Amino acid sequence: MNIILGITGSISAYKSVEIMRLFQKNNHRVCVILTKAAQKLITPLTFATFAPGRVYTGMFAENQDPLLHINLSRDNDLLLIAPASANMIGKMANGIADDLLSTTFIAFYKRVVIAPAMNSYMLENKAVVENLSRLKSRGAAVIEPEAGSLACSTEGRGRLPAAEKIYEFCLKLENA
């Protein structure tokens, strides 16, 4: 399976390296799209070390295919956004395509998996709840966040599930 791993500006972005490596270990090809916010939390170099030539950070990078979002859509089987921030979920639910990840999502016509990760107050906000519901009604699969200790030193639902759980969720969808 060929996978696009989209990484957004959630503190749990560091867990995405483990997700990528787990898919690679099991012979899946992974390319990575990091949003600008994600790059504030983890660097492209971290991913490029394990996926050379398959890490993308923007729409208009020098010497980059101007139709990258279309070609990524055509060449991959699954779009996994882990972690998915409230911002990216809102963009996706409302058809906003203003960066490489959201534009790739709009062009993607195959299986989409969203793994929200954020503070429980944000996750329970009516706008986020409605946006996730809208995405589910359009066919996106959502991996429910886990409860536990959050980055803000509180307890609640909003943690990104373990890499193994995300991997197994995606395999079950692919084999369904």
Q: Are 20 and 3 in contact (CB under 8 A)?
A: no
Q: Are 23 and 167 in contact (CB under 8 A)?
A: yes
Catalytic residue (one of 67, 147, 151, 152): 152
- 112 is written with which tokens? 């989409």
CB hemisphere CA count around 29 (13 angstroms): 9
Catalytic (active site) residue 170? no
- 30 is written with which tokens? 């992974």
**Cis peptide, bond prior to residue 83, ω within 30 of zero:** yes
Residue 1's nearest CA partner among 82, 141, 107, 111 is 111
Residue 167's nearest CA partner among 26, 9, 33 is 26
Known catalytic residues are 152
